[in-house]
Homo-oligomer: A and B are copies of this chain.
Amino acid sequence: GSYYQRLLGPCQRQKQTKQQDKNREKRIKRNEQSLQAIWDYVKRPNIRLIGVPECDGENEFKLENTLQDIIQENFANLAKQDTIQPQAIQRTPQRYSSRRPTPRHIIVRFTKIETKEKILRAAREKDQVTHKGKPIRLTADLSTETLQARREWGPIFNILNQQNFQPRISYPANLSFTFEGKIKSFRNKQVLRDFITTRPALQELLKEALYTERNNQYDPF
């Protein structure tokens, strides 16, 4: 390209630079999406235990005992059917907030993705999962990008929930809800914005939540 470039006028050169910028922007975006997808892919056999207190001299062996206790306490049936042996188990590297003294999450990796799914399904059917009687949380181990994208739906999800639209978040970070008897699914806010332009009632309801960006969101434009 450099030979032809020298023959171009300043206006054409500027146009070309803009086109290159746009292409680069697109490729960076695609890399970001691919990274989100591969993190989710490699974390598929994992679950995350939130709220289990840390204790002194904790090691992989003790953490595995804790896991077996939790399974016995909450999913005794599952424990009878299978030997649920993790491939790896560890605390997350650092505390999420160094100010609040919450215990670090425990990441459990299973050999089979099916084991994770069975446990998550059983957890969803229970009102509460506990460890030594105290409530803990048990979730899929998603990429930080996917978790961030899900959090972005928060205010909209709450409004739709209050108004009985039966909102749901599905993988990776799609919002779906029931509208005029049908389930509608939205990949991101822009798609939802486009959808409501011709639905004034919905627009009125979501306007504020849909057009204010959270401060922590990264948006270059």
Using CB atoms and an 8 Å cutoff, list the residues of chain A in contact with chain B. Answer: 1, 19-21, 23-25, 27-28, 31-32, 34-35, 38-39, 41-42, 44, 60, 87-88, 109, 111-114, 218, 220-221
- Which residues of chain B are within 8 angstroms of A31 by Cβ–Cβ distance? 28, 31-32, 35
Interface contact A42-B32, CB-CB below 8 Å = no
Residues of B within 8 A of A21 (CB): 20
Q: Indicate whether A60 sits within 8 Å of B114 (C-beta atoms), given known contacts A31-B31, A35-B35, A42-B42.
A: yes
CA separation between A21 and B28, bound complex, in Å?
12
In the complex, given contacts A1-B221, A19-B220, what are 13 additional A-B residue pairs having Cβ atoms less than 8 angstroms apart?
A23-B220, A24-B24, A24-B25, A24-B28, A27-B28, A31-B31, A31-B35, A35-B38, A38-B42, A42-B42, A60-B114, A87-B111, A88-B113
Copies in the complex: 3
Asked whether A20 lies within 8 Å of B220 as measured between CB atoms, the reply is yes
Task: Name which residue of chain B comes closest to A60, CB basis.
Answer: B114
A87 — which chain B residues lie within 8 A by C-beta? 111-113
15 contacts between A and B (CB under 8 A): A1-B221, A24-B25, A24-B220, A27-B218, A27-B220, A31-B35, A35-B35, A35-B38, A38-B38, A38-B39, A41-B42, A60-B114, A87-B113, A88-B114, A111-B111
